[in-house]
């Protein structure tokens, strides 16, 4: 009789969605590639929950039944059913949670308890779109899996290696002592991309730019495998233009709006939910929809997105003193060949040359180099797997608990 497969579930809980993946826990204490992954959307009030599931042999999309009560709790019930049906006889050892903000204290993944959750709740104003929902997810999983280790894995942790010149704003020191500084985000994604690059390129330890481009977007400068600078700062609003977020903005604009009578809630909604690709185009926050649109505003939104990316890459290249490798990841970075081509052409003064055929071939299913032989900078497309990093951290913590 074969032993039960042990595994770790990595989850990312949002305001209206739950993303999940199941990673086998291996005999050496590491984790293997996900055996199933997916998400449940439509968990907002009056929403219609829908499941998207991928396994080694199938891709499933279906609506889920709705009943009165907490929709997130219903999603967890659905998840347990999914595991029974599609994962076989699996023993879940831990839940690894992606949490956007670890503040100044949490530079490593940790086991979550009541005291830790209370500290992390205090950071919610720094990431209001993500942090509260991440932590609500933790508490829901604690109820669903009582006694099972819950592990917090922080997007800010990767950037703890940034020096004081990158961490500090030109603000009074009293505010710095209150924790107002640059933190950086998308750290789990950058950790995964950095590890994959190290496996495939001899330049991975040199001057590297990684561009995580999706509904949230940022660029990270890395040297010797560690973050040295990044476009996001105190909050997940800074830096690049995003799906619905503005990116970097003159603070004078906010002062002007306040004088015009805007309150904090209205400004926050505008910056987080009504700006970016959606706000500029007036069409959609989805790059695929904009590509298919004939509206000139959609084309301009794409052009502005590329411009902001190129501008930020140029600034971060200056902090590195040059660039040896550029990697694209995230939903847009992995799948939009036209955007990669446009960005690299505008960065051609740095020596970037794309191989058009290889760029078109790169579809986000596997890591792939897309630079031409004449390029002095390597260019890679690296499908990210934030859940694999979170599951690996949970596995490492499990190892310390059993020694």
Residues annotated as part of the active site = 155
- End-to-end CA gap in the chain: 27
14 neighbors 131 (Cβ within 8 angstroms): no
Annotated binding residue 334: yes
42 is in an annotated binding site: no
Quote the distance between the C-alpha of residue 78 and its chain's center: 24
- Residue 213 labelled as part of a binding site: yes
98 is in an annotated binding site: yes
Q: Which residues touch 376 (CB under 8 Å, ≥6 apart)?
A: 350, 351, 352, 353
Strands 368-369 and 378-381, by their bridges, are antiparallel
* Residue 216 labeled ligand binder: yes
Q: Is 178 annotated for ligand binding? A: no
Contacting residues for 37 by C-beta, under 8 A, at least 6 apart: 19, 20, 21, 22, 53, 54, 387
Per the annotation, does 28 bind a ligand?
Answer: no
Q: Is 387 annotated as a binding residue?
A: no
Helix (H) or strand (E) holding 22: strand 18-24
| Residue 159 annotated as lining a ligand binding site | no
Q: Are 50 and 41 in contact (CB under 8 A)?
A: yes
| Among the listed residues 80, 66, 87, the one whose alpha carbon sits nearest the alpha carbon of residue 24 | 87
- Give 136's contacts (C-beta < 8 A, 6+ positions apart): 13, 72
Residues linked to residue 392 through DSSP beta bridges, in sequence order: none
Confirm or deny that 386 is annotated as ligand binding.
yes
288 labeled part of a ligand binding site: yes
361 is in an annotated binding site: no
> Has 332 been labeled as part of a binding site?
yes
286 marked as part of a ligand binding site: yes
Q: Is 222 annotated as a binding residue?
A: no
Q: Which residues contact 277 (CB under 8 A, 6 or more apart)?
A: 241, 242, 243, 244, 284, 285, 286, 287, 290, 301, 302, 305
State the binding site for ATP. 19, 212-216, 286-288, 331-335
Binding-site residues for substrate sit at: 98
Residue ranges for the binding site? Answer: 12, 19, 98, 212-216, 286-288, 331-335, 386
- From the annotation, which residues make up the binding site for Mg(2+)? 12, 386
């Amino acid at each position: 009789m074969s032993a039960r497969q042990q595994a770790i579930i990595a989850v990312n809980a949002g305001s209206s969605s739950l993303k999940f993946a199941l990673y086998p826990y291996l005999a050496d204490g590491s984790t293997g590639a996900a055996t199933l992954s997916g998400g449940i959307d439509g968990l907002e009030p009056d929403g219609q929950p829908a499941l998207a599931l991928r396994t080694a042999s199938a891709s499933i999309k279906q609506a889920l039944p709705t009943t009165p009560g907490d929709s997130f709790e219903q999603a967890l019930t659905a998840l347990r059913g999914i595991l029974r049906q599609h994962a076989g006889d699996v023993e879940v050892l831990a839940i690894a949670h992606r949490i956007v903000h670890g503040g100044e204290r949490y530079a490593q993944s940790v086991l979550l308890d009541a005291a830790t959750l209370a500290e992390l709740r205090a950071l919610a104003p720094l990431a209001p779109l993500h942090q509260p929902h991440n932590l609500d997810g933790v508490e829901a999983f604690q109820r669903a899996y009582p006694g099972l280790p819950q592990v917090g894995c922080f997007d800010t942790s990767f950037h703890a290696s940034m020096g004081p010149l990158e961490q500090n704003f030109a603000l009074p020191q009293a505010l710095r002592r209150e924790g107002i500084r640059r933190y950086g985000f998308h750290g789990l994604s950058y950790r995964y991309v950095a590890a994959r690059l190290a496996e495939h390129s001899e330049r991975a330890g040199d001057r590297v730019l990684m561009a995580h481009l999706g509904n949230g977007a940022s660029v990270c400068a890395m040297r010797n495998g560690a973050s040295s600078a990044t476009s996001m700062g105190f909050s997940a609003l800074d830096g690049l233009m995003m799906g619905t977020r503005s990116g970097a903005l003159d603070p004078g604009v906010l002062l002007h709006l306040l004088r015009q009578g805007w309150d904090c809630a209205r400004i926050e909604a505008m910056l987080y939910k009504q700006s970016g690709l959606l706000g500029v185009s007036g069409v959609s926050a989805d790059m695929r929809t904009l590509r298919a649109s004939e509206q000139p505003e959609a084309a301009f939104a794409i052009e502005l997105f590329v411009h902001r990316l190129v501008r930020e890459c140029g600034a971060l290249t200056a902090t590195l003193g040059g660039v040896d490798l550029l990697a694209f990841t995230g939903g847009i970075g992995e799948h939009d060949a036209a955007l990669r081509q446009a960005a690299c052409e505008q960065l051609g003064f740095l020596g970037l040359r794309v191989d058009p055929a290889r760029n078109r071939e790169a579809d986000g299913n596997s890591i792939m180099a897309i630079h031409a032989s004449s390029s002095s900078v390597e260019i890679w497309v690296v499908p990210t797997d934030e859940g694999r990093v979170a599951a690996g951290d949970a596995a490492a913590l499990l190892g310390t608990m059993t020694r």
